[in-house]
A and B are shown apart, each in its own frame.
Chain A
C-alpha cells in the first residue's frame, strides 16, 4: 500500500539522481583535467565584468538596495499575474459572457489599483529617490 503510493515518484527520483551524477562528474572532471594558472584578477569575485565594488560582503551598504529590490519583486509579481490573466481573458473566457468578463476585469483592476496605491505611497514618501 505504502509502496504503491511512491511508484509515481520513481521517475522523479531517477531524474534527481542523474542530475546529481552529471553535476558532480562535470565539476570533478574540470577540477582534475582543467589547467590552473591563477592570477590576482582571476581570483576576484566576478561582478558582471565591472571593477570590484567592495572587498567583503560583510559591510554595511545602503538600505536603498533592499527597498528597490522589494519594489522590483512587487511589480515583477504584478506582471507575472497579469500575463496569465490576459491570456485567460483572450482565450479562456467565453467572449459573450458579459457578466463574467466584467467581474474578471473589475477584479484585476482592483488588484492593479491596490498596487498603484502602493506605488503612489512609495513615490510620495520619496522612496524612489536614491538619496
Chain B
C-alpha cells in the first residue's frame, strides 16, 4: 500500500471491540468509584465503593466468560489481542482476587470509631478502589495481549497502580520502603523486558506473538533472538518473584498494607504467569528458547534450574518467618516455583525429541494445570488475606504469628477459613490446592521431569511445617490479651465476612467437586494455547 494514500478502512473489524469490553469495564468502574467517592463525602460509610467495585468485577467476569471463553485464540483488533478461554480463566482468578480483597478492604478502611488501620486516612477510599480496578484492567489485558507492545502497556498499567498501592500508607516508613524497592526493581525489570522485546523484534521483524510462533528465524539472527527471549523471561520471572529475582518480594509484601499484599500476591502473579505462558509459546515455537539439549531447548533446562531454586528458596525462606505477610511472601515464591514446574513441562514440547506427541500432551496438561492452580491459589490467598484484613481493625497490624494465637476461640469461623486456605496452599486433599498441584505435577511427570517433581513434592512437604504452624497457633494456643482476635463487633463487618466465606466455600468446592463448567473452561483454555 502506498503510505501516502489516505486510509480508507479499518484494519480490523468493528465487532472486535466486543473483546475489549472485559478490559474496559474495570477501568470504567475505576473512574466511577473515584467520582462516587467525591459525592459520598468525608467520613461517610464507604461500603458503596466496595459494592460498586464488586459489581464491576462481577460484570467483568460475566463479560470475560461470555466473550472470551468461546473465542479460539485467533488474533483480533489488528493482532493486538488474542482472546481465548485461557484468558477467561486467568481473568476469573484475577477477579476473584480483586473482588474478595476489595470486599475485605471495605471492612479494613471502615473503622467507624476512628481507631484501627484506616487506609482512608492515608489515601481517599475512592483512589484505593480506583487503583485496584485500574490494575485489574491492566492484568486482564495482559492475559490476552497478542502484541508485545500491548503486553508491555498492560504490564505497566498494572505495575504503576500496584507501586502506588504498595506505598498507600504513606506515613509508615515500611510502606514507603517497600514501595520504593518495588518501584526501582520493577522499573529495572521493565527495562529488561523492553530490551528483550526490541532484540526479538530486531531478529524476527514482528511484535505479534502469533506471527512470532510461525516465524523461522535465520540461523544468523538466532543469537539475538535468544538473548531477547532470555531478557523477556528475566523481566517476567522478576514479576512472578522467581529465585534469583525474588529479593523485592518479602520487603514489598511486608511494607504494603495487608489488603494490597493480598491483591499483589494474586493479581500480579496470575497475570504474569498467564502472560509468561503465552510469550513462552511464541518464543519456543520460533526457536528463541535455544538449541536442543538432550531433546528439549536449552531454555527449558534453564527454567528447570530456576524452578528448582525457587521451590527450595521459597520454602526454606518461609520456615523461619514470624511475620504473616513475610511468610506469605515466601509462600508465594514457593508457589511460583510449583507453577514454574508447569512452565518447564510446557517448554518441553519445543524440543525435537522422539516422543513429541507425548510432550504435546504434557504441555496441554501443564497449561490446564496452571490455570486450575491459579484459580486455587487465588482463592486460598484471598482467604488468608481476607482473614488478616478482618483482624487488623484493632489498630495493631497482625505483625507476628503470635497475634493469631487462639483465633479459633475468638473467631472460630475466620480461623476455620484460614485453616482451610492454608491447607489448600499446602496441597492437602479435599482442597482446591491439592487438585492444582496434582495437575501441575502430573504434567511434570508426563514431560519426563520426574526429578523436578520429586524435589517440588519434598519442598511442599516442608511447606506443611510453616502452614500447619499457623493452624497450631490458631487452634492450640490461648488468645493473648489485646490481640487482634479480641476485636469488637462492628456493623460493617458483613463485607469482609462475605469475602472470607466465599473464599472458604469455593476452596472446598473446587477441591472436592469442581464444577464441570470450570473444568471445561480450563481444558478449553489449555486447548487454545497448545494446538
Contacts and interface: CB of A to CB of B under 8 A. Distances in A.
A80 B62 CA distance: 37
B516 interface: no
A93 B220 contact: no
A100 B35 contact: no
B10 interface: yes
A67 to B, nearest CB: 14
A99 B220 contact: no
A3 interface: no
Nearest to A102: B14
A103 B6 contact: no
A105 B360 CA distance: 46
Contacts of B14: 99, 103
Interface in B1-46: 6-10, 14, 27, 31, 34-35, 38
B35 A120 contact: yes
A44 interface: no
Contacts of A100: 7-10
A99 B10 contact: yes
A96 to B, nearest CB: 8
Given A99-B10, A100-B8, A125-B124, A117 B38 contact: no
> Main SS of the interface on chain A?
helix
Nearest to A117: B31
B9 A114 contact: no
Given A99-B14, A103-B14, A117-B31, A124 B7 contact: no
A117 B124 CA distance: 16
A111 B7 CA distance: 21
Nearest to A110: B24
A30 B38 CA distance: 58
Nearest to B202: A5
Contacts of A27: none
A111 to B, nearest CB: 12
A18 to B, nearest CB: 27
A96 B9 CA distance: 10
Nearest to A88: B7
B35 A117 contact: yes
Nearest to A120: B35
A120 B9 CA distance: 35
Contacts of A96: 8
A38 interface: no
A97 B6 CA distance: 10
Contact of B6 (A1, A91, A120): A91
Given A99-B14, A124-B38, A125-B38, A114 B31 contact: yes
B32 to A, nearest CB: 9
A80 to B, nearest CB: 17
Given A1-B220, A125-B124, A93 B7 contact: yes
A91 B7 CA distance: 9
5 nearest CB pairs, A to B: A94-B8, A94-B6, A124-B38, A97-B8, A117-B31
17 contacts: A88-B7, A91-B6, A93-B7, A94-B7, A94-B8, A96-B8, A97-B9, A100-B7, A100-B9, A100-B10, A103-B14, A114-B27, A114-B31, A117-B35, A120-B35, A121-B35, A121-B38
